[in-house]
Amino acid sequence: MPFSDMIVRLIVAIILSGVIGYEREYRHKPSGMRTNMLVGLGTALITIVSLEIVRQEGATSATDISRIISSVLPGIGFIGAGMIIQSRGHVQGLTTAASLWLVAGIGIAVGIGMFALAAIATVLGLIALVLLRSVHVEDSEENTTPR
């Protein structure tokens, strides 16, 4: 892959991830724009490196790429788990953790070169974060009581 294509992919990843991160920052959530941008950039970088390893080393299957990419996901899960807080039967940070998973997926898609898919995922993520923010399902009192 030409170096210029790699740079374009990194830039697209940081922009799309930044869009999701801006929404989180605007809502004063623990994972803001910089964190989301770094996660998207990092996953795009790892994906690009995976593709290049296969190209340079002559790997024989797509599983060689997927092994490296899939190792990123537990790390993102670990970061996300650190943002989830449970207090008095109320859970906070779950949406922020999920947005990091989304941003990681966007970074992977961009790293592979699936720009349209990454853009659509970004738009759908924003719809979920912004437009559906006012939709709340009220729990009954017994479901919110700590055990």
> To 5 degrees, how large is the angle CA 94–CA 99–CA 103?
155
In the block, tokens 């340079």 appear at 56
> Can you give the pTM of this predicted structure?
0.80
Q: What does the pLDDT read at residue 62?
A: 62
Those residues with Cβ within 8 angstroms of residue 78's Cβ, 6 or more apart along the chain or in another chain: none
Number of domains in the chain: 1
- Point out the least confidently predicted range of 35-39, 91-95, 130-134: 130-134
Give the residue numbers spanning the domain of 35. 3-144
Q: In this structure, are residues 51 and 111 in contact, taking their beta carbons and an 8 Å threshold? A: yes
pLDDT tens, residue by residue, 47-104: 998 888 888 777 666 666 777 778 888 888 888 888 787 777 777 888 888 899 999 9
Q: In this structure, are residues 71 and 48 in contact, taking their beta carbons and an 8 Å threshold? A: no
Interatomic CA distance for residues 119 and 133, integer angstroms: 20
